[in-house]
Amino acid sequence: MTAYDRVRRTVGEINDLLCTLNLATWDARVQMPARGGAARGRQLATLAGVARERATSNELASAVDEALPLAENEDERAELQRVRDAVATLRRLPDGLVDAIAGHRATAQDAWEAAKAANDFAVFVPALRETLRLQRAFADALGWEEHPYDALVAHYEPGMTTARVRALLSRLREGLLPLLDAIVAKGVPEPEFRRKEVGVEAQRVAALHFARIVGYDLDRGRLDASAHPFEISFTRDDVRITTRYRTDYFPMSLFGTLHEAGHALYEQGVDPRWVRTAFTTDIVGLYAVAGTSYGAHESQSRLIENQLGRSAPFWDAHYAELLATHGDALDGVDVNAFVRGINHVAPSPTRVEADELTYDLHIMLRVEIEAALLDGTLAAEDVPKAWAEKTEELLGLEVTDDRSGALQDIHWSAGLVGAFPTYTFGNVMSAQWMAAARERDPAVAPALERGDSGPLRAWLHENVHRHGRRYLPDELLGRATGSGLDPEPYLAYLREKYTRLYAL
């Protein structure tokens, strides 16, 4: 067996362990009985621990060193370099720190739940302080130059820095706020149809239908319900999604399903050659995933949910199919009113309820707070005050309590500091893919006008999905669009769309 084969075998085993871990996670979030949590937590920790042991073993490190100079082509070299870098990063993380971060997660989650129940951020503060201490140590172990937040941001989005994030967000802010002001000044009330009752079964039928329409392969996937929707894969041939049904707000399941189906297309579309390799395994994050970064993954879900799924031509072509299940709720609502309604803009204090236009403002607020918490310029106990100030400044809203303010997100209690910016990267990238697809393949735009997303999806498959983690996000974007992360196509898309919908 060559050194390269030995690398492949070990990474394949790591991938098997992590796919199994994903399966146990899916089960925990979809159908596990309530009392199963503690035992499942131990099982997940054991699987992650064994995967980490394999990844940091001397055998793997020496096999990579032996194989690299013998690489036979660019793909092989890139694959081996990816493994080498991941192994080096993992080895820099002290065992004690990794265990402490994992061990603190349950404590922080409990504290967050208790704080939400009491509607009092102060209850969460001691746990948050410990999270920040651990994340700061994690950042130091990963290494950073200008700002400790750099290390955490790059952990989720390789190549990103705090400075790049801030420049991107400030440009978005400049573009978004005037547009939002103009829309709010119009005073358009929320359309009533969105709150009309639609039964769960009707929503489920529609969700499956529209997931298929956008290309989700149900022979290699399935749709279930869960409190927090997600997509998860156990190799390209078993990629599952969930959605959430609210009988008093059917857009939740409809657009939530399109969103997760967009994630699933990425996972289902990866080249079979990359299955069980470093190009479908996040070795540092100990996560089996084909998407090259959180932001790139989110760009696929946002593209399907928003750029495609909230567009007028899509519904011109498919509205009748929705009426088949949602006809009572949509009685008297023509397709133009429907499209306006699903794109209704209304600033809300809650991120997960935010519309497309205000979503990134929620991210800006969190990024500023996270970065300041991490470098010590903001103390944990002062978060609610900062939260209220920034909500007023960005969304023009008053925060009335901690539960709907600084306690609304699960991220900090889950130890996910630095992940928020990836939602905005996803939005920004989604517009870049769309613009490039239209520009570079003449079949894409006319097909979209007819409600046919086939050529668009073929372009995405060719330029994004099939590569898995073969290229880092900047490289992937550069190859397919000719530029790096650039907010201008996204701002242009939003300006054009809302100017038209709101007759600005």
Positions marked active-site: 260
Shortest Å distance, C-beta 305 to Zn ion: 8
**CA–CA separation, 139 and 154 (whole Å):** 10
Shortest Å distance, C-beta 352 to Zn ion: 11
Shortest Å distance, C-beta 39 to Zn ion: 29
Tokens of residue 388, six digits: 């209220």
Shortest Å distance, C-beta 157 to Zn ion: 14
Residue 198 identity (one-letter amino acid): V
Nearest residue to 37 via CA among 104, 106, 99:
106
Q: Which is nearer to Zn ion, 15 or 301 (CB)?
A: 301
Residue 28 identity (one-letter amino acid): A
Q: Which is nearer to Zn ion, 319 or 359 (CB)?
A: 359
Query: Which residues, numbered 259-318, are part of the site for Zn ion (CB under 5 A)?
Result: 301
Residue at shortest CB range from Zn ion: 301
Q: Which is nearer to Zn ion, 135 or 301 (CB)?
A: 301
Angle among Cα 373, 289, 362 to the nearest 5 degrees reads 35
Cβ atoms of 360 and 345 within 8 Å: the answer is: no
Q: Which is nearer to Zn ion, 161 or 427 (CB)?
A: 427
Shortest Å distance, C-beta 140 to Zn ion: 29
Cβ atoms of 419 and 295 within 8 Å: the answer is: no
Q: Which is nearer to Zn ion, 263 or 457 (CB)?
A: 263
Q: Is 91 helix (H, G, I), strand (E, B) or coil?
A: helix
Nearest residue to 284 via CA among 489, 504, 83:
83
Shortest Å distance, C-beta 26 to Zn ion: 16
Nearest residue to 193 via CA among 343, 331, 347:
331
Q: What is the 3-state secondary structure (H, E, C) of 407-418?
A: CCCCCCCCCCCC
**CA–CA separation, 391 and 366 (whole Å):** 10
Q: Which is nearer to Zn ion, 231 or 370 (CB)?
A: 231
* Phi, psi of 448, deg, nearest 5: -60, -40
Which residues have a Cβ under 8 Å from the Cβ of 130 and sit 6 or more positions away? Answer: 104, 107, 108
Shortest Å distance, C-beta 259 to Zn ion: 6
Shortest Å distance, C-beta 298 to Zn ion: 5
Shortest Å distance, C-beta 209 to Zn ion: 21
Residue 288, beta-bridge partner list? 281
Q: Is 224 helix (H, G, I), strand (E, B) or coil?
A: strand
Cβ atoms of 323 and 146 within 8 Å: the answer is: no
Q: Which is nearer to Zn ion, 25 or 301 (CB)?
A: 301
**CA–CA separation, 243 and 288 (whole Å):** 21
Q: Where are the beta strands (DSSP E) in 182-311?
A: 221-225, 231-233, 239-243, 281-282, 287-288
Site size with Zn ion, rule: CB under 5 A: 1
Q: Report, in angstroms and rounded to the nearest whole number, the Rg of the chain calculated over CA atoms.
A: 23
Residue 233, beta-bridge partner list? 239
Q: What DSSP letter does each residue of 137-153 carry, written as one string? A: HHHHHH--SS-HHHHHH
Count the helices and strands in the chain (H runs, E runs). 20, 5
Q: Which is nearer to Zn ion, 298 or 370 (CB)?
A: 298
Tokens of residue 178, six digits: 């005037």
Q: Which is nearer to Zn ion, 63 or 419 (CB)?
A: 419
Tokens of residue 372, six digits: 């300041």
**CA–CA separation, 427 and 356 (whole Å):** 9
**Where does this chain bind Zn ion (CB under 5 A)?**
301
